[in-house]
């Protein structure tokens, strides 16, 4: 299955992702989930960014929290709401909200 997961919280357990094991995984960071793309944990990127996945962060939510694309980890692509719709309809079969 091709799964895209929305992550909306910075405090989260990633064990759900460990159990899903999709053939293709996309992770879209929204709301407070954008902190995974911008904040270091003890000098290292967020542990959420350790999966074999395509990572995206919603530009509007970044800007709301005072960040720009230059603050985002290199693994993460900054996208718009229109891009989210394209991903859901063109690249992934299922969606999940974590």
Residue 18 has pLDDT above 90, yes or no: no
Residue 14 has pLDDT above 70, yes or no: no
What is the pLDDT at residue 12? Answer: 61
What is the pLDDT at residue 58? Answer: 97
∠ CA 31-69-90, rounded to 5°: 65
For 32-83, what is each residue's pLDDT tens digit? Answer: 999 999 988 788 888 889 889 999 999 999 999 999 999 999 999 999 999 9
Q: Which domains does the chain have, with CATH numbers?
A: 2-97 (3.40.1260.10)
Cβ-Cβ contacts under 8 Å for 23 (sequence gap 6 or more): 1, 2
What is the pLDDT at residue 41? Answer: 78
């Amino acid at each position: 299955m091709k799964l895209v997961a929305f992550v909306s919280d910075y405090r989260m357990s990633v064990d759900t992702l460990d159990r899903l094991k999709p053939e293709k995984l996309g992770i879209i960071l929204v709301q407070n989930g954008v902190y995974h793309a911008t904040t270091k944990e003890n000098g290292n990127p967020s542990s959420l960014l350790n999966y074999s996945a395509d990572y995206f962060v919603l530009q509007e939510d970044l800007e709301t929290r005072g960040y720009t694309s230059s603050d985002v980890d290199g693994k993460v692509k900054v996208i718009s709401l229109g891009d989210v719709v394209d991903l859901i309809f063109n690249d992934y079969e299922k969606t999940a909200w974590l």
